[in-house]
A and B are shown apart, each in its own frame.
Chain A
Amino acid sequence: AQSVAQPEDQVNVAEGNPLTVKCTYSVSGNPYLFWYVQYPNRGLQFLLKYITGDNLVKGSYGFEAEFNKSQTSFHLKKPSALVSDSALYFCAVRDLLNSGGYQKVTFGIGTKLQVIP
């Protein structure tokens, strides 16, 4: 069975400081990893994904995520936080061994990011 954990319900960071939103995963095979963001009254917006290749993945709005196989982590990062980054962030995983598509994606519970001016 696959799973994903987001250990922090909320992350607070001062504007201009670097931010990290943590995610760890568990799959039987190789992971296909995603980050989505949800702004108030909006749907889940895709930020970035990792399938294979460079461990550091760059995505939308200046975000990046680092895949660490030994620690089974896929933490989301941004060098300098903006107030407009305040939102709910979801990590998600799919086992590449699964032949199915998005029906096989498991989401985390979400982490609320609050950027303080």
Chain B
Amino acid sequence: EPEVTQTPSHQVTQMGQEVILRCVPISNHLYFYWYRQILGQKVEFLVSFYNNEISEKSEIFDDQFSVERPDGSNFTLKIRSTKLEDSAMYFCASSFDSMNTEAFFGQGTRLTVV
């Protein structure tokens, strides 16, 4: 069964450092997403990406965040200058379309900012 893969599974970084979280979506999917879940809280939408551009972003996704699809397979989330409150589980997801099919999620990257 095809799956979304994320690396690393756990990242520890110092406050103010840049981190890049990596995802390989399912190969024939066209829509890509990042979500995050702060410990004990809800899974929150960050950004969606289609046709090589951001299609929508939440208020959480400020100028510190960026996404990129550098090649035909990877989808990355960059946090330029991490803050303590960025500590969370970050999930990548992909779907074939935006309306009628479910999204497939990766196993998540746990980001710990110290």
Contacts and interface: CB of A to CB of B under 8 A. Distances in A.
A43 B4 contact: yes
Interface in B76-105: 91, 93, 95, 97-99, 102-105
A45 B33 contact: no
Contacts of B31: 101-102
B114 interface: no
Contacts of B104: 43, 46
A1 to B, nearest CB: 13
A46 to B, nearest CB: 5
B107 interface: yes
Interface in A8-55: 34, 36, 41-46, 49
A90 B98 contact: no
A109 B45 contact: no
A101 B48 contact: yes
Interface of B: 3-4, 6, 9, 31, 33, 35, 40-45, 47-48, 55-56, 58, 91, 93, 95, 97-99, 102-108
Top 7 closest pairs, chain A to chain B, by CB? A101-B98, A44-B105, A107-B43, A43-B105, A43-B107, A103-B48, A103-B56
